Amino acid sequence: MQSDNGDVQINGKQLNEICGYGVDFSYDKDTIEEGVRKVATGLIRSGVTSFCPTLVTSPNDSYHTILPHIPQRIEGGAGILGVHAEGPFINPQKKGAHPANCIQTIDNGMDTLRSTYGLLERIKIITLAPEQVSDASVIDELVKAGITVSLGHSMATLSDGERAVRHGATLITHLFNAMLPFHHRDPGLVGLLTSDQIPAGHIVYFGIIADGVHTHSAALRIAYRTHPDGLILVTDAISALGLEDGVHHIGQLPLEVKQGKAFIAGTDTLCGSIAPMDECVRIFQKATGCSQVFAIEAATLHPALCLGIEREKGTLDFGSDADFIILNDDLQVLSTWIAGERVYKCSN
């Protein structure tokens, strides 16, 4: 079985990879290129062919230091689609593992974003809390600049989310986590999955963490059966991905891994996942009973469609990038190929 696998959220998150293998993109400012290389070459073992390095909420000078040094390509490693800036324009009441003292509001439109990040050209996704955005035209301008606007770490009502979607937001960051829980009188951002106020032809995508910890299997089934076309598997992986129990970092905060779960040190607040993408695909497929093809497309085609890169990524159509993986019948990665060259082969 073959596929082209991407992660839009990897915190060191594929749409979302914060970090991994001891590397934290928001913390290890002095070894950025080395850290990205370590993660990119590690991810291919779990079948990831491209990813979005994710920066959690950080001081402005961290963005100014890190963004210019994120490499665009790593030889022999997963491709880099652009950075996912998860914050700092989030709601402090749903900050999760984000440092409260670094959270900001957008007070001066695009000028605020430019002064915060410095470079917008390296950013592919920005996660923000829509209720914290007084002038929604900022979302329009970000979309025009080729940046995917994602909604998350938020206390937003459904109407807040619908307003953001009308202005061009297309993604929800790790559904169910760091947002208001579903309520029958106001379902919040979760309600976007079935809203009748979404513009015609507009798909709202949502990342979901199927690591067996962040999202209950029943919640995975609800999301899958409610809005399968928008479902994107993300890892939300942190620096402890691939490491043993112990103390590590997520951005400015210490984290502790205990019995396969990652918490902000000294608390019971979850702060990212340590499950690789191939494991998330297997967990999701088992929990939902979906086809293997759908489970794979949720990690490949759907994120490519969300980012508007489906002609190059997420398919094996004529003219697309020759990035693919070979799996066995149990969805275990046998080999990973990038640009037509094998970059990983399972030794078992």
- Tell me: the pLDDT tens digits for 38-61? 999 999 999 999 999 989 999 999
Residue ranges of the binding site: 86, 97, 153, 174, 177-178, 185, 214, 270-272
pLDDT band at 11, cuts 50/70/90? very low
* Residue-level pLDDT at 13: 39
pLDDT band at 342, cuts 50/70/90? very high
* Residue-level pLDDT at 251: 56
Proportion of the chain above pLDDT 70, given as a percent: 84
Catalytic residue list: 236
Mean pLDDT, rounded, for 291-299: 96
- CA dist 17 and 238 (Å) reads 7
pLDDT band at 268, cuts 50/70/90? confident
CA–CA–CA angle 230, 233, 236 (5° rounding): 125
pLDDT band at 18, cuts 50/70/90? low
Helix (H) or strand (E) holding 254: strand 253-258
The answer to whether residue 323 scores a pLDDT higher than 70 is yes
* Residue-level pLDDT at 266: 74
Among the listed ranges 106-110, 193-197, 234-238, 298-302, which one has the minimum average pLDDT value?
Answer: 234-238
Proportion of the chain above pLDDT 90, given as a percent: 72
pLDDT digits 0-9 by tens, 82-135 = 999 999 999 999 998 899 999 999 999 999 999 999 989 999 999 999 999 999
pLDDT band at 267, cuts 50/70/90? confident
* Residue-level pLDDT at 275: 85
CB 68 within 8 A of CB 108: no
* Residue-level pLDDT at 286: 98
* Residue-level pLDDT at 247: 67
* Residue-level pLDDT at 318: 92
The answer to whether residue 205 scores a pLDDT higher than 50 is yes
The answer to whether residue 202 scores a pLDDT higher than 80 is yes
pLDDT digits 0-9 by tens, 134-151 = 999 999 999 999 999 999
* Residue-level pLDDT at 10: 40
* Residue-level pLDDT at 15: 65
CATH number for the domain running over 8-345: 3.20.20.140
- CA dist 285 and 301 (Å) reads 16
pTM score over 0.85: yes
In sequence order, the 6+-apart residues with CB closer than 8 A to the CB of 326 are 1, 2, 333, 334, 335, 337
Helices (H), the chain: 32-43, 60-66, 109-117, 137-144, 158-166, 217-226, 277-288, 292-297, 301-307
Residues facing residue 207 across a β-bridge: 232
Mean pLDDT, rounded, for 250-270: 68
Residue 257 vs residue 168, higher pLDDT: 168
pLDDT band at 1, cuts 50/70/90? low
* Residue-level pLDDT at 348: 76
- CA dist 5 and 23 (Å) reads 21
* Residue-level pLDDT at 260: 67
* Residue-level pLDDT at 25: 73
